[in-house]
Homo-oligomer: A and B are copies of this chain.
Amino acid sequence: MSARRKVKKTYHHGDLRSTLITAATELIAEHGVAGLSLRECARRAGVSHAAPYRHFPDKNALLLAIARDGFAALEAVGQEAMAGIDDPRDRLDAYAVAYVRFAIEHPVVFRLMFTSQFEHDGVEPVDGGAFDLLVMTAATVAGPAVDARLAAAASWALPHGLAMLILDRRIPAEQVPGPDEAAALARTILQLWRGPLTDRQPPSVGTNETAKIGGR
């Protein structure tokens, strides 16, 4: 399915650019960013090692292209997740859940988008308007008294951190075997932050003094 597209042996590949992107993503998944080589990409695409230079000026440009595509995809995912939800708080939650799901579904791309291990001299990888929705919605939720970017950062940090912890296996893999479980976990954690973690008075027990559990 994801293999060579057609058997027609032609001189021109036809879709080398995106084939290279796919190959690079797979390679990184297998060996990490450091293990990515343009030559191996070309090899996997069934093409000579110089061919990629028809599509990307250099290795870094390939990486950049993957990240760029990722931001576009994430924006689409975010928009779709929020669509049809009226309550801004629910929108924010839906965004967060979709965000975590995206990260688990596309771990290589997600990491590439954010951890700028490559060429961060000069311009950052463009994020387009991928986060405009987030900023706007967060601002709505937090109210006019709170700086919009601050509200966005606060809302963003939680799903971002969760995604990263899962990707980096800090949250055991067997606990989060796939995107569905990751999304569910995100939901649960959001509820936690709206409840037990923030309630100033202890859950149901008496005073603050007696609230220390497991103390004896």
Given A141-B197, A142-B196, A198-B193, are A169 and B136 also a contact pair (CB < 8 Å)? no
Stretch binding the partner chain, chosen from A42-50, A74-82, A149-157: A149-157
- What's the least CB distance linking A206 to chain B, in Å? 13
Number of copies: 2
Q: Which residues of B contact A149 (CB under 8 A)?
A: 175
Interface hits, A99-141 → B, CB 8 Å: 111, 114-118, 120, 124, 136, 138-141
What's the interface size class on A, roughly? 35 or more
Q: A150-B188, A162-B153, A194-B198 are in contact. Are A114 and B203 (CB under 8 A)?
A: no
> Knowing A117-B34, A157-B161, A161-B159 touch, does A193 contact B196 (C-beta < 8 A)?
no
Interface positions of A (Cβ within 8 A of B):
32-34, 87-89, 111, 114-118, 120, 124, 136, 138-146, 149-151, 153-165, 168-171, 175, 185, 188-189, 192-194, 196-198, 200, 202-205, 208, 211-215
